[in-house]
Structure formats: structure tokens, C-alpha cells
Amino acid sequence: MPLFKSRPSDKSASLALSDEQKLNWLRLIRSHNVGPATFWRLINYFGGAEQALEHLPEFQRRSKKRQSQHSPITTQMVERELKAAHKFGATLVARGEHGYPPILAFLDAPPPLLYIKGNADLTTLPAVAIVGSRNGSAVGQKFTRRLVQELAQAGYAIVSGLARGIDTAAHTGALDQATMAVIAGGIDNYYPPQNKELQCQIEKTGLVITENPPGFEPRARDFPRRNRIISGCTLGTIVVEANLRSGSLITARLASEQGREVMAVPGHPTDPRAAGPNRLIMSGASMITCASDALDLLTPMSDIKRYEQASMFEPDTDLHSIETIDIEQSAREIVLNALSTQAVEIDEIIRATGLHSREVRIILLELELDGQLEHDGAQNIRLLEPLAS
């Protein structure tokens, strides 16, 4: 059985990777401390995944944390992952390929690879996210079902996170038309367990999406990454019910940072589940009381064909093979002293240190791969732990 299912003949999939390239991409994204932001930085620095994989051992040699394991995982390991995914009927798609949401590719550091199961053609539709409380009220769930039915009838795919409450109502309301569920676990993981039947239904008529491998059990920190994909593959996010500590507000914040429309359904001020949407409206989100309110905002942006796939990568010609770059330890100390646990733009670090941008970027990449630095996917970085005084 081939590792990769044959790709559709759709001409829009002109950026499809070869099987060897896709294996290298998978090896790189599964390597220790390599998330989407680091993946794209490595791709840009070295011109491709194969070259980046060759240089990871050099970063390991430079590591200050001897427990760090920067060596890339083997081809055999990712082949086993792919076989497990195919066992569950999932397909691995790369940025730019058919089945990868086109608008998601425009994020800063989008996930390079996704597993999908279901109707890949749904990703060609304009999409809107509907999120809200896991403890959604009966009224809120009824409103959600009616809202998504009208939006789906207008040609929109409904995207949510398959959680209880409002998410479930969103998927259920659009199940017979077009719905996509973004999950935090592996394609074979059913979370919450009571939504297993719903997930199976979505796999048949809709689409299930995840960036994680089969067998992966989601942790608390994985849900914000899932939320980033939910907002990132849609034109806008509607929050129906959510308290002030709800993860739905994280999705709304991410949508705003991504330049997407943020909408909220107002609620009664005495209901804690209305606090989140009401706060969003006070902060500038658009108020939604019916489907036509959302359509007025979304329709001008809904020509999905204009989201032509961005190029896979643009090699950074200012950076050369890492073996040719001799970086003094004093330069690393200067960069570390310029960093803190507060996010700051990379250009500000370059300006503050007075070092050559190439040196700074290599040092920052070393710190990322060493697990000391977090890169937000844009141009902001921060230390994960404060420096010892």
C-alpha cells in the first residue's frame, strides 16, 4: 500500500509536494522543539526540509541543555505514523495542496502539514467559525443551530472545535450541508468521548482536521493551537456564549490578530455566559443578532478563489550554511541579555544588540531548538523562563 494516497487532479493542487519532500516535511515538524514557526524559519534558512534536517545535529552539538534531542526522527518513524493515519482513513496534506484550507496558508507560520478525513472539497468554500461555551444554554444552542443553517445555506462552511455545548450545536446544525471540525488530538482520538458519534458523522459528510499524529492525546496547551487553526481557516469567528475565562475568547483574540472578522452574539447581562460576547462587543467586535448581520460582513470577503496559495517558502539569501558561521559565545550572551519573558520583535533585538542580523537570527534559532525561546509565528519572541540573576 502506498504511503501517500493519490492526489486529486484538481489544477489548484499545483504546489503538491513529492512523496520524498512530504516525508522530509513530516520528519522536520515531528523533530524535537520544532513547531510551525521554527519549521518555517528552518525552511527559509536552509532552503528546504532536507537541508534543515541535515543541520539539526549541529544545533544539538551547540546545545546548552544536554538533555535536548535535536536529531530528527527517522524516516521509518514517520512512515509508521503515515500507515497508522491511513488505517483510520486520513490523508496528509501540505500547505498549498488540495484539502489544505487556502486561507490558512496566509497565517504567519501556518501548520505545514494537516491530517484530514472526509470531504476535502469543503476547504474550497468560504468558511466561518462558530464557537462558544461548553455549557451552552438551551436558547444559545437553538440560536446557534438556526444561525449555522442559514449561513450554510448561503454557501459557507461552518468550522468549530467539536467541544460540548455551542460547538456541538454548530456542527449539528450544519451537518447536512457543510461543517469542518478542527480537533486537538489525533485523527483517531474522540474528545470529548460523548461526541464520538458526531465526529464519525462529520467524517462522512463533512471534514475533520488535525495537525497532530494518530494516537495523540490532547493536552491543555494543545487547544490554543487548535483554536488558531479554527480562526485561521475562516473569514471570521462568531462567539455565541462564553464566560470571561472561556477558550472561545482565545479564538476571538487569535482571529483579531490574524486580521479576520470578530463577531459576537449579545446576551443578558446577568448570565455569566454572556459576559464574553458582551465584552467583545464593547471592545469593538461586530454584534450579531441574525445570519444576515454576519453575511453583511462576510460577503465582501467571501470570494475564496482570490486566496491563491502562497509560495511554499522563500529561501533567505542572507543566511548561509551554518557550518560557515562562526558565532562567538559573547554574541550569544548579548542576545540572551536582550531577551526577556515579555514578547518583543526580532528587529528590536537586532537593534538593541548591535549585532549582524544573520548572527542574531541564528542565535535565536538555536534558542528555539533548545526549548528556551518561544516564537509566536509572527516576528515576536520571548524567553520561556527568566534568566537567572
| Phi, psi dihedrals of residue 380, rounded to the nearest 5° | -110, 135
Segment (H or E) for 159: strand 157-160
Residues with Cβ within 8 Å of residue 245, at least 6 apart in sequence: none
CB 130 within 8 A of CB 170: yes
Query: Could you give the CA distance from residue 384 to residue 370 in angstroms, rounded to a whole number?
Result: 11
The pLDDT tens digits for 113-122 are: 999 999 999 9
Domain count within the chain = 3
Looking at the fold, whether 291 and 198 belong to one and the same domain comes out as: yes
In sequence order, what are the beta bridge partners of 157?
127
Among 247, 274, 306, where does a domain finish? 306
Of 108, 118, 252, which is closest to residue 183 (Cα–Cα)? 118
Amino acid at 211: E
Whether residue 377 lies inside any domain: the answer is yes
pLDDT digits (tens, 9 = 90+) for 195-253: 999 999 999 999 999 999 999 999 988 999 999 999 999 999 999 999 999 999 999 99
Q: Are residues 148 and 287 in the same domain?
A: yes
Q: What gap in Å lies between CA 134 and CA 137, rounded to an integer?
A: 9
Whether residues 285 and 371 share a domain: the answer is no
CA distance 142 to 170: 10
Q: State residue 116 phi and psi, 5-degree precision.
A: -130, 150
Residue 238 and residue 124 in one domain: yes
Give the best-scoring range by mean pLDDT among 9-18, 257-266, 293-302: 257-266
Burial class (CB in 10 A: 0-12, 13-18, 19+), 194: exposed
Return the number of other C-beta atoms located less than 10 Å from residue 210's C-beta.
Answer: 27
User: Residue 198 falls within a domain, yes or no?
Assistant: yes
Question: Is residue 69 included in any domain, yes or no?
Answer: yes
Segment 276-310, tens digit of pLDDT: 999 999 999 999 999 999 999 999 887 655 554 44
Report the pLDDT value the prediction gives residue 305, as an integer from 0 to 100. 55
What is d(CA 385, CA 199) in angstroms, rounded to the nearest whole number?
38
* Reported confidence tier of residue 314, pLDDT bands at 50, 70, 90: very low
Do 275 and 148 lie in one domain? The reply is: yes
Give pLDDT tens digits for 63-99: 665 455 555 688 999 999 999 999 999 999 999 899 9
Residue 5 in any domain: the answer is no
- The Cα 2–Cα 365 span in angstroms is 35
Angle subtended at Cα 145 by Cα 143 and Cα 148, rounded to the nearest 5 degrees? 105
Question: Which one has a higher pLDDT value, 379 or 103?
Answer: 103
Q: How many residues does the chain have?
A: 389
Instruction: Report yes or no: 134 and 164 within 8 Å, Cβ to Cβ.
Output: yes
What is d(CA 332, CA 336) in angstroms, rounded to the nearest whole number? 6
Query: Grid cell 495523540 — which residue?
Result: 216
Q: Are residues 160 and 294 in the same domain?
A: yes
d(CA 47, CA 203): 36
CATH number of the domain encompassing residue 362: 1.10.10.10
Q: How far apart are CA 7 and CA 99, in angstroms?
A: 10
DSSP secondary-structure letter at 224? H
Residues 254 and 343 in one domain: no
Scan for cell 530528527, then name that residue.
72
Same domain, residue pair 69 and 138:
no
Which residue range(s) make up the domain with 209?
117-306
Of 306, 336, 364, the position where a domain reaches its end is 306
Candidates 129, 174, 122; CA nearest to 150 is: 174
Order across the sheet with 261-264: list the strands.
91-94, 113-118, 207-210, 179-182, 157-160, 127-131, 236-239, 261-264, 286-287
User: Which cell numbers hold the place of 322?
Assistant: 551554518
Domain membership flag for residue 144:
yes
Residue 48 lies in a domain: yes
Q: Judge whether 119 and 205 are in contact, CB under 8 Å.
A: yes
Q: Do 295 and 147 lie in a common domain?
A: yes
131 and 48 in a common domain: no
> Residue 171 and residue 123: Cα distance in Å, rounded?
16
388 is a domain residue: no
Residues 293 and 220 in one domain: yes
Q: Are residues 375 and 338 in the same domain?
A: yes
CB 277 within 8 A of CB 239: yes
Q: How confident is the model at residue 5 (pLDDT cuts 50, 70, 90)?
A: very low
CA quadruple 151, 156, 162, 166: dihedral, nearest 10: -20
The neighbour count for residue 310, using CB atoms within 10 Å, is: 15
Asked whether residue 338 is domain-assigned, the answer is: yes
CA pair distance 47, 24, nearest whole angstrom: 13
What's this model's pTM, rounded to 2 decimal places?
Answer: 0.85
* DSSP one-letter string for 318-336: T---GGG----HHHHHHHH
Q: Is the peptide bond before 192 cis (omega within 30 degrees of 0)?
A: yes
